[in-house]
Structure 1
Amino acid sequence: MALGDPGRAEASPRPVASAPGAHHAFADGQALEIAGEAAAEERLAPARFGPLRATLLLAVAVVLAALNLRAAVTSASSLLGDVRTGLGASAAWTSLLTTAPTLCFAIAGLAAPALARRVGLARAIGVALAVLGVGLVVRVLGGAGVMLGGTFVACAGIALANVLVPVVVKESFAHRVGLMTGLYTAALQGSGALGSALTPPLEGPAGGWRGALVLWAGLALVALVVWVVSARHRPAAEAPRGARRPSWGRLLRSPVAWSVTAFMGLQSFLAYVVMGWLPQIYLGAGLSKGAAGVMLSIATLVAVPFSLMVPAVAARRRSQSGWNAGLTLLAIAGTIGLMLAPAAVPWLWALLLGASMTVFAMAMTVITLRARDAETAAGLSAMAQGFGYLLASTGPMLVGLLHEATGGWTVSLLALLVALVAQLVAGVLAGRPRLV
C-alpha cells in the first residue's frame, strides 16, 4: 500500500479553530506542516500539477532531501577557522559567510511558491537539490570570493527545498503525516549534527578542508538521483471554490502577526548564531577542533526529541506563552554559561542551547494557532519567514563583527542576550490565544 493511502493510516490533523480561545488539537508534526504553508498559494490558483504520488521511495527521497538541509551550513562552520586561514579572508568575509543561509531563506520564502507553481513541486525540488550540489562543489574551487559565491548558491538550493519539501509531507502523506513529519524532522536536525561532527575528522583523510567540505556534495547527488526516480505528480485537481489569497494589508496592520514574525526572526537569530559560531567560541575557550564540532552536534541533535514532543503538548493549551518563555530561558542560561565559563561544562551549555532551539517548532506552531483560516496561515507563514529571516540574517554578522572588534566573545554574547530578551517578550506575546 502506498504511504499516502487511507486504511490504517493516521488521521489527518484537525483544521485551525476559528473561535478565539478555542483549544486546538495538534497532531505530531502539524508544526512542521505549516512550514510548507508559505507555498500554499500555489493551490489558490487553477492547478497545473497535482500532489506527488505517495510511495515508499518518495518517502526515502524526502528523508534524503532533509539530510541535506543543514549539513552544508554546519560542515563549513565546524572548519571556519581553517577555511578563513587557508583563504586569507577578513573578519567581514567570515561574518558574511555565516549570514548567507538566513539571507537566502528570506528571499526563497517569496521565490519558492512561484517556482513550484510554474514547474511543479517535483521539478522545483529537483532544481533545489541540483543547485545545492553545484554550490557545494563550486565553493571549494577557488579563493574567498568563489567560496562566498558557492555558499550563496548552495544556500539558495537549501532555502528552496526548506520551503517546498514540507509541502510534499503535507500534501502527499496526509494520512501518514505523524510518521513522515517525525522522519523529516529527525533527518533535518540530524543533518546539522552530522555536518558538524563528521567534517573535522574527515579533514585529514580528505587532504584538507576543501576535500572534507566537497564530500557533502555526494549526499546531495544521492538525494537528487532518488528524487528524480521517485517524484511523480498525480493528475491536477480544480482549485477549491472561494479560495483566495490572504490580505497582506490586514497582516501588516496586525500586532499579532508582527509578534509572531518577531518571534520567528529572533529564534532564527539564535539558531544561526549557534550553527555559525558555536565551534569558534569553544575553540577560543581551549577545546580541540573535534570537541568543538561535537558540542555543535550536541546542540543540534538534542533538539530532535524536544521538537517532536514539546509542540504537540503545548498546542493543546489555550496559551503557549509559558512554553515559549521557558524555552527562551534555557537559551539565556546557556548563553550566560558560555560567556562566564565556556570550558567548565561545555556539554551543559550545548545541551541548554540545543533544547532551547525547540522554539523553532514552537514558532511554526503559533503560526498555525494564531491564524483564523488556512489562507491566513499561508500569508502569516510567508510574512513570518520572509521578514523573520531578514531579521535573523543580522545575527551571525553582528556576532562576528563584534568578536573581531573586541578580540573576544563577551560583547558578542551580550548582544545575543539582548536578542534573547527580545525573543522572550515576543514569545510571550505570540503565545497569547488571539487570532489574526
Structure 2
Amino acid sequence: MVLSILAVVLVGMNLRAGITSASPLFVDLQEFLGYGPLVAALLPSIPTLVFAVAGMSTAWIARRLGLGGTMLLALVVLGAGLALRGLPTTWALLAGTVAAMCGIALCNVAMPSFIRQNFADRISLMTGLYTITMSVGATAASALSVPLALAAGSPTIGLATWSFLAFAAALAFLPFLLMARSGEDTGPKPASINPLALIKTKRGMVITGLFTVQSLMAYSMMSWMPSILISRSMNATDAGFMLGVMQAVTIPATMFSLWLVNRHGMLRGAFTMCSVAVAAGLVGMLVLPLSLAWLCAITLGIGFSIFPLVLLVISHSGETPEETTAMSTLAQSVGYLVATIGPFGMGLLYAVTGGWSVPLVLLIVVAGIQLCLGLAASGYRRTTPQRVG
C-alpha cells in the first residue's frame, strides 16, 4: 500500500512538469535555436497530438507488461525524452518532446486503471491525490523553469534537468514489474475490450467530448499563457510565475471539488463551478489590465480543477479495470487528438491576427460547451451504457 501511494505521487509529479517547464521558455527557445513561426506553433501542439496517437497503444502494452510494467516503461521513455531536449538543436527539442510525451501518454491512460486496481475502495481519494501532485509538479516546473535555465546558461539544459524526476519515479515501479512477471500464467488473461466500440454508446460519446474540451482549454492556456502575458510586456520570469500560480490554485480547488462530490454528491455543481470559473478567467485575460493577471490565474486555476472530476467519471465508467482502461483509452486518444486544435490553432491565429483576442474568445465558447457536457456526464451512474441510434 505504501509503495502504491508513493508510485501515484511520483507519477503525478511528472505528468505536467514536462509540459509546463517548456511554456515559459518558448520565447527564449525560439531566440536561442532560431526556428520559425511554424515550429513555434507546432511545439506546444505536440503533447496533445502525441497523447492521442500513443495513448491508443496503452491497452495493448498493459496486457503484455501489466499496469506496473507499463508505467515503468512510460517513465523511462519520459526521462529519456526530457534528457534529449538538453541538446541545443531544434531536432532534439522536437524529438525529445515527442518521446517525453509518449511516456506521459501511457501514464495518462494507465493511471485510472492503476488506481482502480490498487485502491478500489478509495478511488476518489487517490484520484484527488494524483491530480494534486500533478499540480504540485506543474507549479514547480512553471515557477522554476526560467531560473533553472538562467542558472544553466541555456534554455535547453534547463529543460533537461526535469529528466531526473522522471527517472526517480521509474525506480518506484520496479517492484510492480517484478510482481507482474511473478504473476504471469497464474490465470487466464482478461478478455480485451475494443475502446472504439465504446464510442457507439451515449456515455462514451459524452465522456470523450468532455475530456476533449477540458483538454483543449487546459493545454491551450498551459502552452500560451506566458506568451500572452509576455506580449503585454510582462517579463518571462513573472509570466512563468503566473502560470505557476494557475497550477498552484488547482490544488485547493481540486480538494474543494472532490469534497463537494464525496460529501454532498454535487458532481453537477462541481462541473458548473469549474466551467464558469474558466470562462471568467478567459474573459479577464481579455479585458483586465496586466496588474490583475494574478486574478485571471486564480480563476483559471479553479476552472482547471475539472480534470480530477473527469478522471473520476472515467474511473467509475466500467465494471472491471479492463473496461476502465478501454474508456480511458478512448476518451484520451480521441480527446487529445481533437484538443490539438487548441494550442496549434492559437499559435496560428496569433501569427495571422497579431493578437490574442480571437483565440481567447473562441476558448470562451468552448467553456460553454464544456458546461453542457459536464452537466450531461454528472447524471451517469455505473450502469450499462445505452447505444445511440
Q: For residue 387 of structure 1, what is the aligned residue in structure 2?
A: 334
Q: Identify if the C-alpha distance between structure 1 residues 378 and 285 changes in structure 2 by more than 3 Å, giving closer, same or farther.
A: same
Give, in whole Å, the separation in 2 of the partners of 1:72 and 1:269.
17
Give, in whole Å, the separation in 2 of the partners of 1:283 and 1:76.
15
CA deviations 1:143-190 (Å, max 9, x no partner) are: 223211110011101111222344333323446656644443322111
Q: Identify if the C-alpha distance between structure 1 residues 172 and 192 changes in structure 2 by more than 3 Å, giving closer, same or farther.
A: same
Q: For residue 135 of structure 2, what is the aligned residue in structure 1?
A: 189
Give, in whole Å, the separation in 1 of the partners of 2:20 and 2:44.
10
Q: For residue 93 of structure 1, what is the aligned residue in structure 2?
A: 39
1:401 maps to which of 315, 335, 348:
348
TM-score by length of 1: 0.79
Code of the residue aligned with 1:283 in structure 2: it is I
Deviation at 1:376, TM superposition (A): 5.3
Write out aligned runs for 1:124-163 (5 A): 124-163=70-109
Deviation at 1:235, TM superposition (A): 2.9
Give, in whole Å, the separation in 1 of the partners of 2:197 and 2:84.
43
Q: For residue 359 of structure 2, what is the aligned residue in structure 1?
A: 412
The percent identity for this pair of structures is: 34
Give, in whole Å, the separation in 2 of the partners of 1:182 and 1:368.
12
Q: SS of the residue aligned with 2:101?
A: helix
Greater CA drift, 275-284 or 102-111: 102-111
Q: Identify if the C-alpha distance between structure 1 residues 183 and 326 changes in structure 2 by more than 3 Å, giving closer, same or farther.
A: closer
Code of the residue aligned with 1:86 in structure 2: it is F
Give, in whole Å, the separation in 2 of the partners of 1:312 and 1:232.
36
Code of the residue aligned with 1:296 in structure 2: it is L
Give, in whole Å, the separation in 2 of the partners of 1:317 and 1:257.
26
Q: Is the 8 A contact 1:256 1:429 kept in 2?
A: no
Q: SS of the residue aligned with 2:355?
A: coil
Deviation at 1:231, TM superposition (A): 5.0
Q: Is the 8 A contact 2:260 2:267 kept in 1?
A: no
Q: Identify if the C-alpha distance between structure 1 residues 165 and 380 changes in structure 2 by more than 3 Å, giving closer, same or farther.
A: closer
Give, in whole Å, the separation in 2 of the partners of 1:270 and 1:287.
22
Give, in whole Å, the separation in 1 of the partners of 2:194 and 2:94.
37
RMSD, aligned α-carbons: 2.6
Q: Identify if the C-alpha distance between structure 1 residues 171 and 368 changes in structure 2 by more than 3 Å, giving closer, same or farther.
A: closer
Code of the residue aligned with 1:238 in structure 2: it is G
Write out aligned runs for 1:111-126 (5 A): 111-126=57-72
User: Within the alignment, does 1:235 sit opposite 2:183 as a pair?
Assistant: yes
Give, in whole Å, the separation in 1 of the partners of 2:183 and 2:315.
28
Q: Identify if the C-alpha distance between structure 1 residues 432 and 222 changes in structure 2 by more than 3 Å, giving closer, same or farther.
A: closer
Q: For residue 45 of structure 1, what is the aligned residue in structure 2?
A: none
Greater CA drift, 60-69 or 264-273: 60-69
Deviation at 1:93, TM superposition (A): 1.0
Q: Identify if the C-alpha distance between structure 1 residues 177 and 120 changes in structure 2 by more than 3 Å, giving closer, same or farther.
A: same
Q: Is the 8 A contact 1:319 1:432 kept in 2?
A: no
User: Within the alignment, does 1:199 sit opposite 2:199 as a pair?
Assistant: no
Q: Is the 8 A contact 2:58 2:329 kept in 1?
A: no
Deviation at 1:281, TM superposition (A): 1.0
Greater CA drift, 213-222 or 139-148: 139-148
User: Within the alignment, does 1:258 sit opposite 2:185 as a pair?
Assistant: no
Give, in whole Å, the separation in 2 of the partners of 1:96 and 1:221.
27
Write out aligned runs for 1:24-173 (5 A): 56-173=2-119
Q: SS of the residue aligned with 1:432?
A: coil
Greater CA drift, 210-219 or 116-125: 116-125
CA deviations 1:117-153 (Å, max 9, x no partner) are: 2123333222211211111122231422321111001
User: Within the alignment, does 1:308 sit opposite 2:250 as a pair?
Assistant: no
Give, in whole Å, the separation in 2 of the partners of 1:162 and 1:250.
20
The count of corresponding residues between Structure 1 and Structure 2 is: 379
Give, in whole Å, the separation in 1 of the partners of 2:380 and 2:67.
34
Deviation at 1:322, TM superposition (A): 3.8
Deviation at 1:383, TM superposition (A): 2.2
Give the number of the structure whose residues are more often helix, by fraction: 2
Q: Identify if the C-alpha distance between structure 1 residues 333 and 296 changes in structure 2 by more than 3 Å, giving closer, same or farther.
A: same
Q: Identify if the C-alpha distance between structure 1 residues 100 and 117 changes in structure 2 by more than 3 Å, giving closer, same or farther.
A: same
User: Within the alignment, does 1:339 sit opposite 2:286 as a pair?
Assistant: yes
Code of the residue aligned with 1:117 in structure 2: it is R
- Higher Rg: 1
Q: For residue 431 of structure 1, what is the aligned residue in structure 2?
A: 378
Q: Is the 8 A contact 1:103 1:390 kept in 2?
A: yes
CA deviations 1:236-288 (Å, max 9, x no partner) are: 55359xx7555767633333432221111000111101111111111112222
CA deviations 1:20-43 (Å, max 9, x no partner) are: xxxxxxxxxxxxxxxxxxxxxxxx
Q: For residue 299 of structure 2, what is the aligned residue in structure 1?
A: 352
Q: Identify if the C-alpha distance between structure 1 residues 297 and 244 changes in structure 2 by more than 3 Å, giving closer, same or farther.
A: same
Give, in whole Å, the separation in 2 of the partners of 1:263 and 1:360.
10
Give, in whole Å, the separation in 1 of the partners of 2:286 and 2:163.
35
Code of the residue aligned with 1:235 in structure 2: it is G
